[in-house]
Amino acid sequence: MSDQTDQDAAQPPEAASEQTKYAILEAAIKLFGAKGFEATTVRDLITEADVNLAAVNYHFGGKDGLRMAVIDHLATQFRQKGPGVALAGLDQAEIGIMSPEKARETLRFIMKTSFKMAASGGGPDLRARYIQRELIQGGEPTERFFEKVFSFQFNLMVQLVARATERAVDDEITRVRAINLIAQSVFLNLARPLVLLALGWDEYTPENVDLVGDAFWLHHE
Amino acid sequence: MSDQTDQDAAQPPEAASEQTKYAILEAAIKLFGAKGFEATTVRDLITEADVNLAAVNYHFGGKDGLRMAVIDHLATQFRQKGPGVALAGLDQAEIGIMSPEKARETLRFIMKTSFKMAASGGGPDLRARYIQRELIQGGEPTERFFEKVFSFQFNLMVQLVARATERAVDDEITRVRAINLIAQSVFLNLARPLVLLALGWDEYTPENVDLVGDAFWLHHE
DNA sequence: ACCTGTATCAAACATCTGTTTGATAGACAA
DNA sequence: TTGTCTATCAAACAGATGTTTGATACAGGT
């Protein structure tokens, strides 16, 4: 059995057995994100992680157990250094007294920052890519991630949108608009192959990323 | 015997062998859209289509051949009765002389209509869902669909956005904004499990669909 | 009649899949 | 030492997967 070092999963652990678990988790994020859960075999995983075939079942109880462990692993990473709202360092009290202009400015900063984090840095952000895959799929992984991570950040977005558009926070249009903001950032990463084709780009260069930051739909009516 | 059951389909099959191919294609759209390509087995397909196991390989050369055939099948359906831009019955000459207000109005109508087509009508639109899955994946299917269907409609969207925002059609921001419009409609369908959780909805009722139509980000700066 | 190409069918094939097994080595304590 | 618990390893397992095979039936042309 393993001890309780699950709280801190940000950097590689010290104990040998924890290193094995960590290597498998990182390999899973990479391969699940790139090829999808179903298309990734356990033998792909153990080759990438350079561990024994039985390690996945020994440490995580099976491929499905690994899937859930990856969700939790990513959830802690996102809690510590999540994209978007968390970066702005806001709390609800601050948002409540924001001017619409300031709220829009904050939203655009959040959108830019979160997109930049996902898009830049060489290849695709496989962490974000895997999360987005799971969120699309539905079922237990989606609910698990929604509760653990998304719910909190989404509510902050809703409050910012409410200030930005001068509408009530419990207005359903406000909530849909918050989603439609997230949708723009997520889609540009998730459907990257199509987007690059449509824009005639080879990849997301720093110049392209800056340009996208100015193109989000985010105005007052 | 069973020729009036597929009233919404593009073309009913005539010859017996064509009926087999057609049944497999429809089953593939349904299962690939619901579970994904990798997670769908050939035996799932032939059970759904009620044909023999060897039929997939005989008619399509294998599971991968079927994947490409499905892309082409959907491409023809989209050409005949595509969502969004095609419905508006526009051509480039009309768009060129539109006022910004009229262009925005047209865009919102297109967004509403295409979202409504995908979201309403009982369960999820598995055709759209499969297409969106493939577009995310990248590779040959993405390029195939981009060339055959998406490219044309996307260019019309770009021209409408250019008029709506009074920017040039070859401005890259214009093109990104067109994508960010599509992103909103697509994401609401693709990430439906997450969206429903976030909004506290059980499903997309007609009321919900109408509400979403008013919540798209689509304004002038 | 005969021949030919097409389509369907049950069965089998070779491989891949996730999982389990039993052996083995190291760490730590009595 | 001995015993026990943990982790890793190679090997094997049972089932699923995509594909192929060979037989069969049917339709149209000669």
Helix, strand and coil in chain A, % to nearest 5? 70, 0, 30
Residue B76 has pLDDT above 60, yes or no: yes
pLDDT of residue A171: 95
> What is the band of B91 on the pLDDT scale with cuts at 50, 70, 90?
confident
How many other CB atoms are there within 10 angstroms of residue B8's CB atom?
8
Q: Which whole number is the average pLDDT over A70-85?
A: 77
Q: Which of A104, A105, A172, A221 to mutate to test the interface with B (most CBs of B within 10 A)?
A: A172
Contact between B177 and A215 using a beta-carbon 8 Å cutoff: yes
Which of the two residues, A70 and A2, has the higher pLDDT score? A70
> What is the Cα–Cα distance from A205 to A208, expressed in whole angstroms?
5
**Of the partner residues A143, A146, A180, the one whose CB lies closest to the CB of residue B217:** A180
The closest of B146, B81, B196, B38 to A32, measured between CA atoms, is B38
Reported as type and span, the H/E element at residue A28 is: helix A16-35
pLDDT of residue A165: 93
Lowest mean pLDDT among A142-151, A205-214, B58-67: A142-151
Which pair of structure tokens corresponds to residue B17? Answer: 């062998």
In chain B, positions 58-87 with C-beta closer than 7 Å to nucleic chain C are 58-59
Residue A7 has pLDDT above 80, yes or no: no
**Most confident among A21-25, A137-141, A213-217, B5-9 (mean pLDDT):** A21-25
**Of the partner residues A176, A216, A221, the one whose CB lies closest to the CB of residue B199:** A176
B193 close to A142: Cβ distance less than 8 angstroms: yes
A154 close to B198: Cβ distance less than 8 angstroms: yes
Percent residues over pLDDT 90 in chain B: 50
State whether the beta carbon of A180 lies below 7 angstroms from any atom of strand D.
no
The closest of B145, B122, B121, B123 to B133, measured between CA atoms, is B145
State whether the beta carbon of B53 lies below 7 angstroms from any atom of strand D.
yes
Structure letter (DSSP) for residue B121: S
Q: How far is the CA of A41 from the C1' of C16 (A)?
A: 10
pTM of the predicted structure, to 2 decimals: 0.83
Kindly provide the b/e burial profile for residues A14-47, where b requires at least 16 CB atoms within 10 angstroms of the residue's own CB: eeeebebbbbbbbbbbbbbbbebbeebebebbbe
> What is the Cα–Cα distance from B48 to B26, expressed in whole angstroms?
9
pLDDT in tens, B163-221: 999 999 999 999 999 999 999 998 998 888 889 999 999 999 999 999 998 899 987 66
pLDDT in tens, B119-136: 876 666 788 888 888 887
pLDDT in tens, A134-147: 887 888 888 888 88
Residue appearing with tokens 């393993």: A2
pLDDT of residue A180: 96
Which of the two residues, A221 and A16, has the higher pLDDT score? A16
Query: Angle at the Cα of A213 (from A207 to A216), degrees rounded to 5?
Result: 140
pLDDT of residue A94: 81
Structure letter (DSSP) for residue B24: H
pLDDT of residue B55: 97
